[in-house]
């Protein structure tokens, strides 16, 4: 596996100087943030990320994300032009060494939580989703904003988008995903890039918007649209794992055996009876997911893709972008290193026996 860390570029309070001090850290996961979704990224911006990482002893070889414009997801308006721009972005990032592109196909909103700073008994804070709080949220009120969302929508625009998705429905969204994959994956393949779709977070419809990258059946359907390692998954344990119907170690085992996981986002969540969940420390006993079983499944299947510790809590007085501080993600990376080292030793011993 290749250990990686997400970095938000020049404005990220977490510096590359610090990131490189995490043991076994290799790759930087980043993106060009100075253009709107759908636009072509400038080569200068891409080259700057690659160069800056290299100067810090790190490799920029994973993009998260190249956003998919709503016109592509809705199959309308400037869809054809946005698809061309998307392909051009893949060619451009590949030119500067990128091997994996993470993206998602969630309508309107990226990941959703009801609170970003929920305090736990140990004084740390983390992101949570409480069904009770969700019931009181109106995304059209204009008061709602979360770091994963594009905050630039005006109320009227949002209303129109909601109506368009209601009309499109799940099967319509599948149709547009199919078109996207059939156009984009061959370009990625030719450039040596693996496209890695991120599951919907949480993996069920929210605010009445359709969501399709949610469960094993749908992941199978998505992978079958273009049967190539260039059409792969970002298997995010926390996103898929906040629904009880997903068995994460089993899914990791299956898709790693098929060589269809390009990128692992590893984090733990604590699931509640009513479907609410809290983001927790990576360590298995802190949440509902068996981290050792997840890493074992990867190692058993010779996984050699990218791994990143996902959302961390805020600890030790750190402030910053919710989920993306340094300390708890660094602890996550160190813990994952330990699990991988042990599993690899055991696998090696089995092979030599």
Q: Which is nearer to ligand DNO, 111 or 130 (CB)?
A: 111
Smallest Cα–Cα separation from 4: which of 260, 335, 333? 333
Closest approach, Cβ 342 to ligand DNO, in A, equals 26
Give me the least distance between CB of 281 and ligand DNO, in Å please.
Answer: 16
User: Could you say which of 61, 71, 200, 310 is catalytic?
Assistant: 310
User: By CB under 6 A, is residue 263 in contact with ligand DNO?
Assistant: no
Residues 6+ apart with CB under 8 A from 336: 3, 266, 282, 291, 295, 307, 309
* Cβ nearer to ligand DNO, comparing 296 with 313: 313
Residue 75 near residue 175 (C-beta atoms within 8 A): yes
- Least distance (Å) from ligand DNO to the CB of residue 240? 12
CB atoms within 10 A of CB 50: 21
Residues 6 or more apart from 294 whose CB is under 8 A from it? 237, 248, 249, 252, 266
In terms of CB distance, is 277 or 296 closer to ligand DNO? 277
Q: Quote the CA–CA distance of 52 and 31 in Å, as a whole number.
A: 13
Subset of residues 38 to 97 that bind ligand DNO, contact rule: CB under 6 A: 64-65
Task: Report how far residue 271's alpha carbon sits from residue 277's, in angstroms, rounded to the nearest whole number.
Answer: 5
Least Cα distance to 126 among 136, 115, 134 occurs for 115
Which pair of structure tokens corresponds to residue 12? 């990220």
Least CB distance to ligand DNO at residue 272 (A): 21
Residue keyed to tokens 């969302």:
149
117 part of the active site: no
Piece of the chain touching ligand DNO by CB under 6 A; list 50-58, 98-106, 175-183, 272-280: 98-106
CB-wise, 242 or 296, nearer to ligand DNO?
A: 242
Does residue 210 touch ligand DNO according to CB under 6 A? Answer: no
Q: Is 247 a catalytic residue?
A: no
Regarding beta strands 59-64 and 27-30, do their DSSP bridges make them parallel or antiparallel, or are they unpaired? parallel
Assess whether 33 carries a catalytic annotation. no
CB of 147 to ligand DNO, least distance (A): 8
Q: Is 311 a catalytic residue?
A: yes
Residues that bind ligand DNO (CB under 6 A): 64-65, 102-104, 110-111, 148, 198, 265, 311, 323
* Residues tagged active-site: 198, 236, 265, 310-311, 324
């Amino acid at each position: 596996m290749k250990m990686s860390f997400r970095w938000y570029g020049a404005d990220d309070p977490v510096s590359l100087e610090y990131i490189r001090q995490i043991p076994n850290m290799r790759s930087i996961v980043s993106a060009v943030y100075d253009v709107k979704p759908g636009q072509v990224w400038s080569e200068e911006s891409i080259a700057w990320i690659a160069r800056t990482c290299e100067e810090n002893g790190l490799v920029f070889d994973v993009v998260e994300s190249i956003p998919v414009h709503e016109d592509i997801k809705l199959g309308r308006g400037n869809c054809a032009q946005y698809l061309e721009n998307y392909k051009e972005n893949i060619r451009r990032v590949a030119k500067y060494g990128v091997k994996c592109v993470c993206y998602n196909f969630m309508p309107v909103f990226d990941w959703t939580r009801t609170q970003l700073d929920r305090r736990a008994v140990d004084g740390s804070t983390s992101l949570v989703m409480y069904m009770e709080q969700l019931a009181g949220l109106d995304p059209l009120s204009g008061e709602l904003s979360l770091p994963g969302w594009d905050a630039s929508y005006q109320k009227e625009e949002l209303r129109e988008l909601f109506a368009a998705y209601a009309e499109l429905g799940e099967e319509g969204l599948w149709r547009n995903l199919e078109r996207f994959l059939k156009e984009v994956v061959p370009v990625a393949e030719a450039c040596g890039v693996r496209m890695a779709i991120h599951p919907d977070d949480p993996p069920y419809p929210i605010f009445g918007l359709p969501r399709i990258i949610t469960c094993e059946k749908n992941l199978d359907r998505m992978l079958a649209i273009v049967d190539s390692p260039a059409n792969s998954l970002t298997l995010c344990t926390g996103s898929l794992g906040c629904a009880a119907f997903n068995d994460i170690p089993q899914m990791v085992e299956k898709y790693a055996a098929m060589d269809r996981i390009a990128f692992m986002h590893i984090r733990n969540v604590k699931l509640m009876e009513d479907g609410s969940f809290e983001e927790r420390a990576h360590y298995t006993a802190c949440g509902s997911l068996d981290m050792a079983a997840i890493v074992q499944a990867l190692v058993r299947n010779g996984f050699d893709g990218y791994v990143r510790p996902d959302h961390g809590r805020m600890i030790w007085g750190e402030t910053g972008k919710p989920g993306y501080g340094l300390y708890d993600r660094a602890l996550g990376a160190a813990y994952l290193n330990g699990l991988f080292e042990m599993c690899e030793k055991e696998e090696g011993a089995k092979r030599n026996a």
